[in-house]
Amino acid sequence: MQFNVPQFISIEDKIVGPFTAKQLGWLAIGGIIFLILWSMLDTSSLIITGLIDAVIFGALAFYKPYSQPLNKFLMSSVHFFFRPKIYVWKRNYDNIRAVPRNHLTNKKPKPIKKKVLKSDKIKEISKRLDGIRE
């Protein structure tokens, strides 16, 4: 049995031409703000604020830093700067014993003495091994 697995699930559906619903919403909000500014401001200040409005809402509609929408990126930045930082792990120095450096460098390692089996035990072990082999 075979099942079709959707491959491009991160791609949003296009609603009007090349625009998705979110892009169309951001552009509509920018257009509404521009119309409000048009009714309130004279021509020179309308051009300046209109350009600022177009840049802000154009970026919100189309710019995706680190493959996420700009509004989500900005909210994550605000949360990062204003929330307290949580430290998950801190080293506890109470249980650590301090050793001076000169103590470590001046000491030579002790040689390890090897245990040598007595000849009787060696003979007994060889007989057992010979018995297993036969």
Spatial distance between the Cα atoms of 70 and 57, rounded to a whole number of angstroms: 10
Please name every residue paired with 20 in a beta bridge, in sequence order, or none if there are none: 14
Q: Read off the DSSP letter of residue 9.
A: T
Count each helix (H run) and each strand (E run) in the chain, helices first. Answer: 5, 2
Report the pLDDT value the prediction gives residue 12, as an integer from 0 to 100: 81
State the pLDDT confidence band at 29, using cuts at 50, 70 and 90.
Answer: very high
Give 73-127 pLDDT, tens digit per residue.
Answer: 999 999 999 998 887 777 777 777 766 666 556 666 677 777 766 777 788 888 8
Report the pLDDT value the prediction gives residue 91, as an integer from 0 to 100: 73
Cβ of 54: how many Cβ atoms within 10 Å?
A: 15
Report the pLDDT value the prediction gives residue 64, as an integer from 0 to 100: 93
Residue pair 64/70 in contact (Cβ under 8 Å)? The answer is yes
